[in-house]
Amino acid sequence: MFYVQTIKKSHGIQGGVKIKAAIFVLADIESHEGLGRVVNALEAVKQFKEAKDDVKLYFDGTGTKWISELNKKDHIVCLRQLVTK
């Protein structure tokens, strides 16, 4: 499971709305469904960052397995490749 919660909206200096969001990854690494959810979470983080919103990504429960999984150089979704792009 991946869950997005908007924490707070504030008006920026130029009158735009700035969003503070928290994204929680709870999905396990043992299924293609879990992989889809973590990819969706990472894409959501990317989109919030591109919009210059404040966003935090949390891995909780079985979702914490993704931290080591995404650090593997040969994993299909290598975190190092995502961060450097």
Tens of pLDDT, residue by residue over 37-74, are 998 999 999 898 988 888 999 999 999 999 988 888 77
pLDDT greater at residue 71 or residue 78: 71
Query: Looking at the predicted structure, is the pLDDT value of residue 34 above 60?
Result: yes
Cα distance between residue 15 and residue 13, in whole Å: 6
Give the number of domains in the chain.
Answer: 1
List, in order, residues 6 or more apart from 28 with CB less than 8 Å away: 34, 62, 63, 65
For the chain, the straight-line distance linking the first and the last C-alpha, in angstroms and rounded, comes to 25
Per-residue confidence (pLDDT) for residue 65, from 0 to 100: 94
Per-residue confidence (pLDDT) for residue 74, from 0 to 100: 77
Contact status, residue 52 vs residue 18, Cβ threshold 8 Å: yes
Token representation of residue 65: 């397995």
- Domain range for residue 53? 2-84
User: Percentage of the chain surpassing pLDDT 70?
Assistant: 69
